[in-house]
Structure 1
């Protein structure tokens, strides 16, 4: 099959690689649609964000497969441990809820299942989880092998393109859960990119009160307004003054910081964290959605003085209800139209060989006029 191979920072090409073979507890998925994340693009370019050192060590040892955790596809093979009766093509009878031919996506983070935390039913505390596209080959390829426990069935009515965009939405759900956004809470969202717009939609449908969004791009500010923001501000204006005026001088109950990161990737550096600390109310919560450099400066004195909680949402499926994990709930929101992910996809490319171009577009969205990541259609379901 063909897949993206990274030979050095900034050197990604599509090459022939061996087809994946499922281990006993794995399935193989034919990729229908995949989109790069901004974090993946920064890491591939060599930016010093989280996991940079890990990727650098792998590249020092030779070419490596990297990236591709936001995707959807069709199950094409099932490992022996989950095939019906121990053999055969279908896993549905083995209790997984899906089988060969089913349309699925997969959670990017899988706990090891063996450590002390996992044995105590706390997979969120697993010290060495596997991460699709990071610790194992991802979906920047025609096919990908994933742990069977990570697979999530895609319900009827959700397209491959929508399912490929579900992981960021699941992240937004995690962010709102950890921030304990309550009915009527005022919410400030710094950034009107993909995560900013998704957080806006989750806030609006979750019962938040006043929703304020900032952004630099007029087009993205319009997206934020259409997503349900009450007040949309130009990030170049006096945001602090506007937030204080809108909240009666108190500041926002919750701030989601989605704009920070490497300026070369069109992000705001670390200034937005300082802005968040000044805009949040005393005793409020800041959720760090953006991926900042590993040694980023932070206004810790101001946060301590004002008793502000600085929170980081977890990744992966997780769950806050016995009825559904974050991915299942995200897919449900998309299926019933509560969250619109289609509006965030403005660039669609065709074929696995378009992956390097998709990385370029996603890393420099402003230059290409892209609202969000560029999606790449690879399999037939993605074209239907």
Structure 2
């Protein structure tokens, strides 16, 4: 009975929540907070490489003007959008207008808002397999029908997408992490980028080019953006991997009508972003020589760590596994060839003091039981070598 003496009737939650589940990666982070565990699990940039002093100076400069403490425009602080328009123009190879740049609370918010703008319940979304978990959560919440297209060493199998279309499938959206894929660690080839854009224009679907890692190349810059080939490609990126996640500055580059639709939804979600963090980000990115040197420092550190992890895995496990050649980004994808179930192995690995994300966490359906994603960004070379030693001990005792 209620306090009013009436029978209790529990209010319902929205039906769309029924198919959602918490991210296995976020849940795993709670376990890996222990000091005795070396974590290869979380996709976290290295806080030691984040430019705290430079951020502090930019914050102090921003605070000299009280307007940075006020509400700002829903599409983002104009000064930041101008800086981003210039950078994205160079990245895409055409002039990007201010009306085509929309700043969001991290690029994940951009993805969430786009799902509401571009998808009706039941609409078909094509994702890569294995898939970015954040995209799966967003598209499932939108009630989309999700179909996975496999990856190989050259990224999304665009030929498989063509076959799906030839067989009558009509996607509304194709999502790709084209550069240094999360979790697959591969990069979409230039030929496939061009073909994907051609398919989008021929069959009338949107491509979401999710690009948080494109600047984190080690030896060779990432290929021309997918958006270079078509206006039907919406680009997403952020400063989370180059500056700091806590700034929560992401953005999209999209046609004006898409940005205006997203603006309506963002006004209902949070009115606007933070003028303070927008100004900080604008200051840092506009300082082009400093920003280029900073990103180069991050690249160099991550490149050494990636090489260490890959070499340790291959030399320690030999033919028992294969792994990607991390050419950029933050992740190595591992496939055990000896039948190791990485979900079953994880508790033993945690007992041995090392964590990773089982491949099943990235599967659209039940797959990747013998795979794992490993992040190399937060450990130095000695720590990564020790992590592989611990993993080998757990593997030997399984």
TM class by shorter-chain length?
0.3 to 0.5
Question: Which structure is higher in helix share?
Answer: 2
TM-score of the superposed pair, with normalisation by structure 2: 0.35
Report which of the two structures shows the higher radius of gyration computed on alpha carbons.
2
Greater strand share, structure number: 1
